C-alpha cells in the first residue's frame, strides 16, 4: 500500500506533539506562576535601571562639560580682574545647540560679576520673561562692576545663525554669590548639583550643575531641563496597567508615565511628594523603601488593595544629589495570559490525545531508514562529493520516493553545473586579469599582443588573427599568433569600382555590421567567401574548421578592428570543435575591453600629437612675428634637450642626482622649452624691433627733420625779407649760410643721437637740450585726425591759440601712455621686478637721451615682460599631472644663481637643473643666432667666451657650463645650426674648471 508522506508525517508528528504536551502540562505549568513573578521583577528592574541610566547620563554629560570648562586657565574667564565674556561665548552656544535639554551656561566671580548664555530656541515663554525680540534664539547676559557700589547688566540677543539682533542695559540686581549653585560649588570645592526646581522663565522642571573656577575665584554652572524625562518615560515599554515614576532624593516626583487605564486620569504635578499624590496605589509607595531590588507586594488602601510588582532603583550620587526610579505593575498583567494559555493547552492536548494516540508508532521504522538514506545522500551532496552514485530509497511513502529520484537528478545536474561554473570562473578570472593588463599597458605593440593572445587563451582555440581598420577604410593584418608572415595586402570594406559593401568576406561583414559571426565548419559555410582561408590551410598545413569573428567596437556603431579566432579546442580531448555558445559572451567582453583600451591609447597619442603640434605652431608664430627672433623658439628646445641628455649621463659630482627617467619627464621638459617664450605673443613688434630711439610704429626722426626744414625755410624767408628791407645781398646771404650750416649740423647731431650706442656722454645730452630749446611756429591744429583714445591724452594740456610757438624737441603730456592693471603686481606670482609707472613714454627728449641702446625703461620692461606673460599664461593652463612643471621650465630661463635675474629673483636653491639648462640654452642661442639683422652673428669662440663671463658672474650654472663644453654639445649644435664662417676653433681648456 502506498500513501503520501504528508499524511504519515501529520499522524506521527501530531502524536509526538500530544505526548510532549502531556509532559509539558505535568512538569512545566506548575512552575509558571513563579516564573511569571520572577520575569516581572526582572523586567521592571531593567526598566528602572534604564530610567536611572537616562537621568544619570544626562546629568553626567553636562557635569563633564562643566568640569572640563573649569579646568581651563583662570585667564579664560577673567581678564584684568573682570569677566572675559567673548572667550566662552562660542563654546557655550555650541554646547547649547548640541543638547536640547540645556537651558543655559553661566559663570560668576567673587566680585558678583556674571556672564550667562541662554538658549531661547524661539520659546515664547522665555522671550517674554527675558523681554527678548521675537526672533531671538540666544541671549547673552553680562553683569560688570562699574565701581565698588554699582554694577551694570547688559542683555545681547542673537538669532539662530548667531547674528546680533539687539541689546539693552539695566541696573544689575542679580548677585551670583548669593545663589545656591554658587555657594554649593564653592562650599564643596568640587562639582555640585542643586535639587530640582522650576525655572522662573519657562516653568519647566530643571536643575543646576556647578563647579568652582580655578583658585576658587568664582563658579561655573549649567541649567539642565528635565522636561525630556517625561518623553523618555513615555517611550519605555510597560505592561497594560504599569507605571513608572522618577523621584529626587527627597521623594518628590520629577516625571510620571502610565499607558493603561489603571492610572488613567491621575495627574501628578512636578515636585509633588509621593504621600500627597491623589491615588491609593501611588501614595502607598512612600512606605516601601527597599531599593536596588524588585519585589511583589501589596499596594492600596482598604478594599482597593492589589498585588503589584515594584522595582525601585537609586542612582549613584552626582555632586551630592541622587535620583530614584520606581516602576510598578499589577501582577494580573503577567498572570492572566499564563492562566488562559494553561487552560487552552490543557483542553487542546486532551482532544488531540484521544484522536491521534493509536497512530503514534505506525510506520516509524521504514521512515527512519528512508530518511537516513536521504540524509546520507544529502551530506555527500553538501560536500560536492560526486565519487559515488546516490542511493535511491524504496518506500511506500510517495514523497520519499519522489525525493530520492530528485536527489539523483539533482546530483547529476549539480555535478555538471559545478564543472561549467569552474570553467566560467576560470574564464572570468582570465578576463579580469586581461582587463587589468590592457588598462595598464602603454606600449602599443605589447597591447596588441595582450589583446590577441588573451583572446586565444579565453576562447581555448588553436590560432587567432587581429585586424585593424585603417584610415583608408580597409582592414589590415595587425598580428597573428603563429609565426607566419603577415599578408602585405589590405582588405577593402567597399568595392573600389562599384562602391558597394565588400561583405562577401567574413571580416568585412562583421566590421560593417558590428556583429559577431560564428562559423561551425568552414567547409560547409555558404554565406561567405572562405576560399582564401582554405588556400591558407592547404599552404600552411593548418586546417581551419571552426571560426569566430568578433568586432572591436569602443562605442556603438563604430568598429576599429576585429578578432578572428580559429579552431576551438575541446578542453578534455583537445579535438577541434565548434565554438560553444556560452563562450561568445566572454570573447565579446574581451573584445569590448580591448577596443576601449586600444581606442584610449589612440586618443592619448592623438592628443599628444595635437598638443605638440599646437605648441610648435605657437613657437613658430612667435618666431615669425619678428625677424629679430626668427627661429629662436625652435632652436632653444633642441639645444636644451642636447644638454639635458648629457646631464642625464653624469654619474658623479653635483649633477649625478639629475635624471629624466620616463618619457613623460622628457616630454614635460621639451614642452617647457618650446613654450619658454610664449609670452612674446603679447609683446608689440615695434618694441622688439625698435632700431632707433625715436622709432615707434615708424621712425619719428622724419618729424624732427621736417621741423628743421621749416626752420631752414624760415631762414631763407628771413634772408629775402632782409634784402627787401635794404640789406645787401652779400650780407644777408652770409647770415643765411651761417644759419643753414648750424641747422644742418644740429640735425645731423640729433640724427646721430637717434642711433642707439653703448654710451651717451653728458656733453651730448647738454647739446641736445640746447637744440631742443630752438623754437618754431605751428599754424595747424595738432588734434585733427586723431583717434578717440589718442585725443584723451591731448586733454591733459590746454588747447593753444594758433599760431603757437613750440620748441624744436619736447616731452609733452600726450607722449605718456598710462599703465593699467598689470599682472606683474599680483602678489600670488611672487614677481620681484620694478614696474615703471607708465606703459610707454614717447617723449622726444626722453627717448633721445637714452644712454645705452634704443629702448626706454618702459620699453625694456615691456620686452622683459614676456617672461611674466609666459608664467601667467602657463599658470592658467590646466596641465595634467605629468606636465605640471612646464611653467617652471618655461619661466625661469632669465633667472641667475645670485638672485639678480627676473622675474622672481630666484637663487641657486630655487632653480632646478632643467631650469638652469634652459638659461644656458637661451643665452647661447641668442649669442650665436645669425638671423637677427640688428647684430652681427658671433662665432663659436666669441659666444663661448661671453658665456664664460656669465659663468664667472654666476649668472649660469658653472657645472652645466663645463658639461656644455666638455660633452661637445656646443660644437654639435654649431655644426647643425650655425653658418660655416661661425664655426671656428674653441680652446675649452681656458673656460673649464
pLDDT per 10-residue tile (average), the chain, 993 residues: 57 68 62 68 76 80 84 79 80 89 90 92 88 93 87 93 92 90 88 84 83 88 83 80 84 84 81 84 73 76 82 80 84 72 70 58 57 66 64 64 69 62 60 63 78 85 90 88 82 86 87 90 87 79 88 81 90 87 84 80 71 69 61 84 92 90 88 80 77 87 93 94 93 94 94 86 90 92 88 85 92 87 79 86 91 87 82 83 87 89 89 92 86 71 91 92 92 90 90 87
**Whats the size of the chain, residue-wise?**
993
Cβ-based burial of 20 (10 A; exposed 0-12, middle 13-18, buried ≥19): exposed
- Write down the pLDDT at residue 686: 76
- Distance separating alpha carbons of residues 390 and 413, to the nearest angstrom: 13
The helix/strand/coil state of 938 is coil
- Distance separating alpha carbons of residues 20 and 26, to the nearest angstrom: 10
% helix / strand / coil in the chain, to the nearest 5? Answer: 50, 15, 30
Q: How far is CA 773 from the centre of its chain?
A: 68
Using alpha carbons only, give the angle 208, 210, 212 rounded to the nearest 5 degrees: 165
- Write down the pLDDT at residue 548: 92
**Strand 304-314 to 218-225 pairing:** unpaired
- Write down the pLDDT at residue 915: 92
H-assigned helices in 107-235: 124-130, 180-188, 228-234
HSE-up of residue 355 (Cα within 13 Å, Cβ side): 10
Rg (CA), the chain: 52
Cell of 693: 630711439
Whether 286 contacts 271, CB under 8 Å: no
Report the helix count and the strand count for the chain, using DSSP H and E: 28, 27
Q: Is the peptide bond before 197 cis (omega within 30 degrees of 0)?
A: no
Cell of 859: 620699453
Whether 431 contacts 586, CB under 8 Å: yes
Per DSSP, 179 falls in state S
- Distance separating alpha carbons of residues 627 and 196, to the nearest angstrom: 94
- Distance separating alpha carbons of residues 264 and 573, to the nearest angstrom: 86
Cell of 584: 561568445
- Distance separating alpha carbons of residues 126 and 123, to the nearest angstrom: 5
Q: Is the peptide bond before 865 cis (omega within 30 degrees of 0)?
A: no
The helix/strand/coil state of 899 is coil
- Distance separating alpha carbons of residues 594 and 601, to the nearest angstrom: 11
- Distance separating alpha carbons of residues 148 and 133, to the nearest angstrom: 32
H-assigned helices in 545-676: 581-625, 632-649, 663-674
Cell of 275: 504621600
User: How far are the Cα atoms of 252, 273, 282, 284, 310 from residue 276, in angstroms, in the given order?
Assistant: 10, 6, 9, 10, 19
- Distance separating alpha carbons of residues 596 and 280, to the nearest angstrom: 84
Q: What is the pTM of this model?
A: 0.50
- Distance separating alpha carbons of residues 184 and 191, to the nearest angstrom: 9
User: How far are the Cα atoms of 464, 526, 535, 584 from residue 543, in angstroms, in the given order?
Assistant: 13, 18, 10, 22
Per DSSP, 955 falls in state S
Rama region for 824: left / alpha / beta (φ>0; ψ in -120 to 50; rest): alpha
- Distance separating alpha carbons of residues 211 and 196, to the nearest angstrom: 17
Among candidate residues 463, 249, 341, the one with its CA nearest the CA of residue 35: 341
- The backbone torsions φ and ψ at residue 154, rounded to the nearest 5 degrees and listed phi first, read -120, 130
- Distance separating alpha carbons of residues 560 and 552, to the nearest angstrom: 6
- Distance separating alpha carbons of residues 603 and 103, to the nearest angstrom: 65
Among candidate residues 106, 112, 182, the one with its CA nearest the CA of residue 146: 112
- Distance separating alpha carbons of residues 450 and 468, to the nearest angstrom: 15
Residues with Cβ within 8 Å of residue 612, at least 6 apart in sequence: 671
- CB count within 10 Å of CB 808 equals 20
Catalogue the E-assigned strands of 278-396.
293-301, 304-314, 324-330
Name 130's bridge partners: none
Q: Is the peptide bond before 369 cis (omega within 30 degrees of 0)?
A: no
Residues with Cβ within 8 Å of residue 170, at least 6 apart in sequence: 153, 155
The helix/strand/coil state of 571 is coil
Among candidate residues 107, 6, 372, 55, the one with its CA nearest the CA of residue 245: 55
| Chain position carrying cell 556603431 | 557
Amino acid at each position: 500500500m502506498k500513501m503520501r508522506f504528508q499524511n504519515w508525517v501529520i499522524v506521527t508528528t501530531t502524536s509526538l506533539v500530544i505526548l510532549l504536551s502531556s509532559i509539558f502540562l505535568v512538569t512545566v505549568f506548575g512552575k509558571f506562576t513563579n516564573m511569571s513573578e520572577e520575569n516581572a521583577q526582572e523586567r521592571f528592574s531593567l526598566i528602572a535601571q534604564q530610567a536611572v541610566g537616562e537621568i544619570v547620563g544626562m546629568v553626567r554629560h553636562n557635569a563633564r562639560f562643566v568640569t572640563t570648562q573649569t579646568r581651563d586657565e583662570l585667564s579664560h574667564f577673567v581678564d584684568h580682574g573682570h569677566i572675559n565674556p567673548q572667550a566662552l561665548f562660542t563654546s557655550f552656544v555650541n554646547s547649547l545647540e548640541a543638547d536640547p535639554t540645556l537651558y543655559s551656561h553661566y559663570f560668576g566671580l567673587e566680585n558678583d560679576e556674571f556672564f550667562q548664555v541662554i538658549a531661547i530656541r524661539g520659546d515664547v515663554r522665555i522671550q517674554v520673561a527675558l523681554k527678548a525680540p521675537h526672533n531671538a534664539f540666544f541671549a547673552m547676559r553680562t553683569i560688570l562692576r562699574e565701581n565698588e557700589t554699582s554694577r551694570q547688566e547688559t542683555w545681547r540677543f542673537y538669532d539662530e545663525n548667531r547674528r546680533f539682533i539687539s541689546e539693552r542695559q539695566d541696573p544689575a540686581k542679580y548677585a551670583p554669590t548669593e545663589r545656591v549653585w554658587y555657594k554649593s560649588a564653592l562650599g564643596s570645592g568640587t562639582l555640585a548639583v542643586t535639587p530640582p526646581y522650576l525655572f522662573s522663565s519657562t516653568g519647566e522642571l530643571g536643575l543646576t550643575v556647578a563647579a568652582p573656577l580655578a583658585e576658587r575665584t568664582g563658579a561655573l554652572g549649567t541649567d539642565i531641563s528635565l522636561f525630556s524625562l517625561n518623553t523618555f518615560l513615555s517611550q519605555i515599554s510597560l505592561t497594560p496597567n504599569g507605571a513608572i515614576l522618577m523621584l529626587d532624593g527627597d521623594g518628590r516626583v520629577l516625571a510620571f508615565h502610565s499607558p493603561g487605564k489603571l492610572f488613567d486620569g491621575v495627574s501628578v504635578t512636578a515636585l509633588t511628594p509621593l504621600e500627597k499624590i491623589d491615588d491609593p496605589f501611588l501614595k502607598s509607595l512612600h512606605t516601601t523603601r527597599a531599593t536596588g531590588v524588585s519585589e511583589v507586594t501589596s499596594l492600596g488602601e482598604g478594599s482597593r488593595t492589589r498585588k503589584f510588582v515594584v522595582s525601585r532603583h537609586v542612582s549613584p550620587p552626582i555632586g551630592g544629589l541622587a535620583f530614584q526610579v520606581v516602576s510598578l505593575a499589577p501582577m494580573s498583567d503577567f498572570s492572566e495570559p499564563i492562566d488562559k494559555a494553561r487552560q487552552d493547552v490543557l483542553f487542546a492536548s486532551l482532544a488531540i490525545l484521544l484522536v491521534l494516540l493509536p497512530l503514534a508508532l505506525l510506520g516509524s521504522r521504514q521512515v527512519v531508514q528512508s530518511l537516513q538514506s536521504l540524509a546520507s545522500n544529502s551530506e555527500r551532496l553538501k560536500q560536492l562529493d560526486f565519487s559515488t552514485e546516490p542511493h535511491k530509497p524504496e518506500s511506500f511513502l510517495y514523497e520519499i520516493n519522489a525525493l530520492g529520484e530528485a536527489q539523483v537528478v539533482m546530483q547529476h545536474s549539480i555535478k555538471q553545473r559545478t564543472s561549467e561554473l569552474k570553467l566560467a570562473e576560470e574564464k572570468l578570472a582570465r578576463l579580469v586579469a586581461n582587463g587589468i593588463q590592457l588598462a595598464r599597458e602603454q606600449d602599443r605593440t605589447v597591447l596588441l599582443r595582450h589583446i590577441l593572445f588573451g583572446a586565444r587563451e579565453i576562447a581555448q582555440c588553436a590560432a587567432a588573427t587581429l585586424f585593424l581598420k585603417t584610415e583608408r577604410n580597409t582592414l589590415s593584418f595587425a598580428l597573428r599568433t603563429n609565426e607566419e608572415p603577415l599578408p602585405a595586402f589590405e582588405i577593402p570594406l567597399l568595392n573600389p569600382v562599384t562602391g558597394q559593401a565588400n561583405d562577401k568576406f567574413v571580416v568585412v561583414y562583421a566590421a560593417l555590421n558590428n556583429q559577431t559571426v560564428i562559423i561551425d565548419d568552414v567547409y560547409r559555410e555558404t554565406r561567405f567567401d572562405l576560399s582564401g582561408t582554405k588556400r591558407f590551410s592547404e599552404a600552411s598545413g593548418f586546417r581551419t574548421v571552426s571560426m569566430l569573428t568578433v568586432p572591436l567596437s569602443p562605442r556603438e556603431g563604430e568598429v576599429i578592428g576585429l578578432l578572428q579566432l580559429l579552431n576551438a579546442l575541446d578542453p578534455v580531448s583537445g579535438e577541434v570543435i565548434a565554438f560553444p555558445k556560452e563562450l561568445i559572451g566572454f570573447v565579446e567582453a574581451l573584445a569590448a575591453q580591448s577596443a576601449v583600451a586600444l581606442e584610449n591609447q589612440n586618443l592619448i597619442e592623438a592628443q599628444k600629437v595635437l598638443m605638440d603640434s599646437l605648441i610648435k605652431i605657437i613657437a613658430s608664430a612667435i618666431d615669425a612675428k619678428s625677424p629679430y627672433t626668427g627661429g629662436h623658439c625652435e632652436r632653444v628646445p633642441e639645444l636644451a634637450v642636447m644638454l639635458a641628455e648629457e646631464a642625464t649621463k653624469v654619474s658623479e659630482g653635483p649633477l649625478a642626482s639629475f635624471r629624466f627617467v620616463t618619457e613623460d619627464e622628457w616630454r614635460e621638459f621639451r614642452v617647457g622649452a618650446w613654450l619658454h617664450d610664449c609670452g612674446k605673443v603679447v609683446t608689440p613688434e615695434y618694441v622688439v624691433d625698435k632700431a632707433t630711439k625715436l622709432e615707434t610704429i615708424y621712425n619719428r626722426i622724419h618729424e624732427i627733420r621736417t621741423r628743421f626744414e621749416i626752420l631752414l625755410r624760415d631762414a631763407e624767408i628771413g634772408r629775402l625779407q632782409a634784402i627787401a628791407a635794404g640789406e645787401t645781398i652779400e650780407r644777408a646771404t652770409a647770415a643765411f649760410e651761417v644759419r643753414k650750416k648750424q641747422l644742418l649740423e644740429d640735425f645731423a647731431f640729433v640724427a646721430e643721437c637717434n642711433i642707439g650706442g653703448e654710451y651717451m656722454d653728458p656733453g651730448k645730452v647738454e647739446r641736445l637740450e640746447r637744440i631742443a630749446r630752438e623754437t618754431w611756429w605751428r599754424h595747424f591744429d595738432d588734434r585733427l585726425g586723431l583717434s578717440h583714445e589718442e585725443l584723451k591724452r591731448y586733454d591733459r594740456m590746454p588747447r593753444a591759440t594758433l599760431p603757437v610757438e613750440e620748441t624744436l624737441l619736447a616731452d609733452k603730456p600726450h607722449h605718456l601712455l598710462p599703465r593699467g592693471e598689470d599682472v606683474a603686481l599680483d602678489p600670488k606670482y611672487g614677481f620681484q621686478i620694478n614696474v615703471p609707472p607708465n606703459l610707454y613714454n614717447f617723449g622726444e627728449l626722453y627717448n633721445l637721451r637714452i644712454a645705452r641702446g634704443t629702448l626706454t625703461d618702459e620699453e625694456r620692461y615691456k620686452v622683459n615682460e614676456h617672461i611674466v606673460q609666459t608664467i601667467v599664461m602657463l599658470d592658467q593652463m590646466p596641465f595634467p599631472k605629468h606636465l605640471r612643471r612646464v611653467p617652471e621650465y618655461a619661466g625661469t630661463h632669465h633667472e641667475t644663481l645670485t638672485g639678480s635675474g627676473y622675474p622672481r629673483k630666484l637663487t641657486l636653491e630655487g632653480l632646478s637643473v632643467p631650469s638652469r639648462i634652459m638659461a644656458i640654452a637661451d643665452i647661447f642661442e641668442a649669442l650665436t643666432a645669425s638671423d637677427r639683422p640688428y647684430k652681427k652673428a658671433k662665432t663659436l669662440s666669441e659666444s663661448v667666451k661671453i658665456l664664460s663671463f656669465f659663468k664667472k658672474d654666476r649668472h649660469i650654472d658653472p657645472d652645466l657650463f663645463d658639461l656644455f663644453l666638455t660633452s661637445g654639445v656646443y660644437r654639435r649644435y654649431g655644426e647643425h645650426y650655425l653658418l660655416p664662417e661661425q664655426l671656428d676653433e674653441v680652446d675649452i681648456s681656458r673656460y673649464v674648471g
